[in-house]
Amino acid sequence: MKYIVPLFLTPLLSLLVATSAQAAIQTEVIEYRHGDQVLEGYLAYDDDLETPQPGVMVVHAWKGLGEYEKRRTRELAELGYVAFAADIYGKGIRPETNAAASELASYYRSNRGLLRDRAQAGLEVLRDHPLSLPDQLAAIGYCFGGGTVLELARSGAEVLGVVSFHGNLDTPNPAEAQNIQGQVLALHGADDPFVPPEDVDAFITEMQEADVDWQLVLYGEAVHSFTDPNAGNDPSQGSAYNAEADQRSWAAMRQFFQDLFF
């Protein structure tokens, strides 16, 4: 079957093609500091941006800032946001084994003040960038990063909202949820064995008692790391990719940001 484009549409189509060809996602490695520790983040934005836009910080999973988080950062830029993947561990500190990652993540989870400060350092990089709107910031995180952005919110950070993807929900000081200034969205695998039901129940109570504007979405048949194709496809291992939960959670995040920023 042949389709004939009316002549009066040809200039418009040519313009659209040219515009699409010119648009590109720009990325940049940004070195910054927290105290004496050198950190290395990853920035992405659409080079067609002519005015500042809302900014979204991305916090990595337990193996540190890698290709997965960078891809998510570029995808946020494709949605029109200025996105910055923060580095909690430090430049060049990228554990290669699960055992090393567990040890490092546990260190920061046991030092929540340091964890919050590292996240805040990344947020300040995004806030200070000329293309981001300093009063329209949000943060998302995956696994370890999901718990990190929740802690960032509990610290009273000036963010409009945070999104946790299959992150840990527990906190040693649930009363600090009263410090949360923005909205909270937790996207959670209903069958995640690494976040027990009692942690989920405690999170609900924490949010309710602090009168936070919060949402918790449970995805059936989803376990830990359900958004990450690198997690494999065997749910019996506790971590596995779930394409439907991945797509649905990303859509939930997009709607959350639409409500948040616009």
Please state, rounded to an integer, the average pLDDT across all residues of the chain: 93
Residue 109 β-bridge partners: none
178, 180, 181, 187: CA torsion to nearest 10? -140
- 5: exposed, middle or buried (Cβ count in 10 Å: 0-12, 13-18, 19+): exposed
Report the distance separating Cα 227 and Cα 186, nearest Å: 13
Centre a 10 Å sphere on the Cβ of residue 67 and count the other Cβ atoms it contains.
9
Domains and CATH numbers, the chain: 25-261 (3.40.50.1820)
Report pLDDT for 119: 98
- 110: exposed, middle or buried (Cβ count in 10 Å: 0-12, 13-18, 19+): exposed
pLDDT in tens, 132-148: 999 999 999 999 999 99
pLDDT at 21 over 50: no
Would you place residue 262 in the very low, low, confident or very high pLDDT band (cuts 50, 70, 90)? confident
The pTM score is 0.91
Report the distance separating Cα 221 and Cα 137, nearest Å: 32
112, 95, 60, 146: CA torsion to nearest 10? -50
pLDDT in tens, 95-105: 999 999 999 99
With H, G, I as helix, E, B as strand and everything else as coil, classify residue 18.
helix
- Range scoring the smallest mean pLDDT among 11-20, 70-79, 139-148, 240-249: 11-20
pLDDT at 37 over 90: yes
pLDDT at 86 over 60: yes
Residue 166 makes CB contacts below 8 A (sequence gap 6+) with: 142, 143, 146, 187, 188, 189, 192, 195, 222, 224, 225, 226, 227
Would you place residue 16 in the very low, low, confident or very high pLDDT band (cuts 50, 70, 90)? very low
